[in-house]
Amino acid sequence: MYDYLIVGAGLSGATFAYEAKRRGKSCLVLERREHFGGNVYCESIENIHVHKYGAHIFHTHDKDVWEYVHRFADFNHYVNSPVANYKGEMLNLPFNMNTFSKLWGVRTPEEAMAVIAEQRKEITGEPQNLEEQAISLVGRDIYEKLIRGYTEKQWGRKCTELPSFIISRLPVRFTYDNNYFNDPYQGIPIGGYNKVIEGLLDGIPVELSVDFTEAKTRELYAKKAKRILYTGMIDAYFGYEFGNLEYRSLRFESKTLDTPNFQGVAVVNYTDAETPFTRVIEHKHFEFGTQEKTVVTYEYPCEWTPGTEAYYPVNDEKNTALYAKYRALAEAETDVFFLGRLAEYKYSDMDDAIAAAYLKAQEIL
């Protein structure tokens, strides 16, 4: 009999497992996919770590989390500086003096602020949706070229129907600084993300290709432990009793190209509405790769359907209410705990996932 059955070998499950083991608890980890690591899993192609489930760039403001991940790997000095391609026009992200100067020919922060101040006049009163929020933050030009198309492709909904918090991740800076993140710590693990997961799961039994939500499997494994830490989809745990929670999904198309450098940067965002993909990732640039070939991945956003991978929770009113119903069921469970993006129906960055798993371990172990 194990102390814990941990369902899901992603960052949340693996961190919890590590903490449980450290505290002398025995654990068995089950993973539905045929590999561990959840969405941070990388596949090695042409000696390049290919981020199989989309670009993952580690960044945090939390020194404890930064030190924590260093137990498992050193981190390189990668700084995320994506470039937007709007109908062939290359503009720096996040929105900063490089962007403003290229767009409007301005040279100083004062000149850039004056342009934005003029353009934001069209919004009077409190912004009511993502469109209004974006225009009041950076003006109409940037909204049209860098936000509208990308966001509507990503979410499959009009910007006027989306909540403004979605873009609160994006900094606006009046300095010539292309760093996408404001966090003081950033980098990619040297040796790849798999190394971090391997470190977290070291010495812990993991069974791959086991879907705990299948009735028979569940019956068999639930008996094997005193408590369960579940990181899968919360609605699946309860047999979709109130219906499906909705997600946005992504489809990835990867190619190996016979060139050492395809786009000169790891991430190019295609911000127009017509190009069907949102991003092209050239994986080698995350690690300053000098391989002869390169691997690129085109990222196509799509609606999630059961059986495909769920990426972004759709935290609109309908889904938030539905989640609350599942949450109430989860709270009524004894000796079953729910953790992570899918179980808590909440998008989270890697550092938040690790911190939350650590806290959960502290709370219940």
By annotation, the residues acting in catalysis are: 169, 173, 248, 279, 299, 347, 349
Residue partners of 133: CB distance under 8 A and separation at least 6 = 127, 164, 167
Among 14, 93, 123, 361, binds ligand UDP (CB under 6 A): 93
For ligand UDP, the binding residues in 303-362 under the rule CB under 6 A are none
For ligand UDP, the binding residues in 157-176 under the rule CB under 6 A are 166-167, 169-170
CA torsion angle 181 185 187 190 (round to 10):
-170
Strands (E), the chain: 2-7, 27-30, 42-45, 48-51, 58-60, 83-86, 89-92, 185-187, 206-207, 225-230, 247-257, 267-270, 279-282, 294-303, 312-313, 336-338
Among 84, 137, 197, 245, binds ligand UDP (CB under 6 A): 84
Amino acid identity at 2: Y
Nearer Cβ to ligand UDP (49/148): 148
Q: Tell me which residue has its CB nearest to ligand UDP.
A: 151
Q: How far is the CB of 169 from ligand UDP (least distance, A)?
A: 5
Q: How many Å apart are CA 342 and CA 36, to the nearest integer?
A: 16
C-alpha 232: how far from its chain's center?
A: 16
Q: How far is the CB of 279 from ligand UDP (least distance, A)?
A: 8
Nearer Cβ to ligand UDP (197/314): 314
CB 310 within 8 A of CB 304: yes
Q: In what order do the strands lie in the sheet with 206-207?
A: 206-207, 27-30, 2-7, 225-230, 336-338
Q: How far is the CB of 57 from ligand UDP (least distance, A)?
A: 8
Q: How far is the CB of 199 from ligand UDP (least distance, A)?
A: 24
CB 82 within 8 A of CB 265: yes
Residue 223-262 contact track with ligand UDP, rule CB under 6 A, x = bound: ----------------------------------------
Any idea what DSSP says for residue 309?
P
Bridge-partner residues for 257, per DSSP?
Answer: 294
Under the binding rule (CB under 6 A), the answer on residue 79 touching ligand UDP is no
Under the binding rule (CB under 6 A), the answer on residue 102 touching ligand UDP is no
Looking only at the bridges linking them, the beta strands covering 89-92 and 83-86 are antiparallel
Under the binding rule (CB under 6 A), the answer on residue 271 touching ligand UDP is yes
Nearer Cβ to ligand UDP (19/178): 178
Among 60, 154, 231, 297, binds ligand UDP (CB under 6 A): 154
Residues in contact with ligand UDP by the rule CB under 6 A: 84, 93, 146-147, 150-151, 154, 166-167, 169-170, 269, 271
